Amino acid sequence: MPVTPLPEDNTRRMFLNWEVGALSHSTMIRVADGPTAEAIRDDLHGMFVFLIDFMASNCHIVGLDEAVSGSNVRNPVPGWTVIDGLGTNDTVTGQRLARSFSYRGRSATGRKTKGLLWGLVLPEQADFQYTPTVGSDLVTFMNALNSFTFEFLAIDGSKPVYKSDLLEDYNDHWEVELRP
């Protein structure tokens, strides 16, 4: 049976704002209506700091915005502490600026979901599928996708089960932007 389409603004959303080199990106995260913006901010910050060791030295997560259910207006959530990539990591330049990694999940209602991570310094894989090393902070990050109750929801508000790997991709929009 086909899944009925839902409007993009069907749920409350948070937007994690990234700067990688001179480019700006956002990762949309669907969240429950109950918790305060500050509580979700603290949860997300505590989770995304696990990426520091994998973020390029010119990668920064600079802020968090919120859009309530039924609205496309994004408002900044005050109190975000910038997360800077590890200074000893390489910088991301050239075509690597268009490179992203996606985490993917599916809920019991059949809804698929994914989110994009930017500015990560991870080895290329022949099959574009990156499986984190057991015991690494990236595994902790991936496990949190499934353990967080109020964040990383599907478009209908259900909780997906996320895969334990990341898919590497080159974002079409940014490829066009970077071409001379």
> Mind listing the pLDDT tens digit for each residue in 20-53?
998 999 999 999 999 999 999 999 999 999 999 9
Q: How confident is the model at residue 2 (pLDDT cuts 50, 70, 90)?
A: confident
Which domain range does residue 104 map to?
10-178
Segments in the chain forming alpha helices (H) = 37-48, 137-147, 172-178
Residue 56 lies in a domain: yes
Residue 64 lies in a domain: yes
Alpha-carbon radius of gyration of the chain:
16
CB 105 within 8 A of CB 152: yes
Query: Coil, helix or strand for 56?
Result: coil
How many structural domains compose the chain?
A: 1
pLDDT tens, residue by residue, 140-168? 999 999 999 999 999 999 999 999 999 99
Residue 5 lies in a domain: no
Residue 3 lies in a domain: no
Taking alpha carbons only, the member of 162, 76, 68, 176 closest to residue 117 is: 162
Residue 93 belongs to what H/E stretch?
A: none
- Assigned token pair, 105: 């999940």
pTM, whole model, 2 decimals?
0.93
Residue 141 lies in a domain: yes
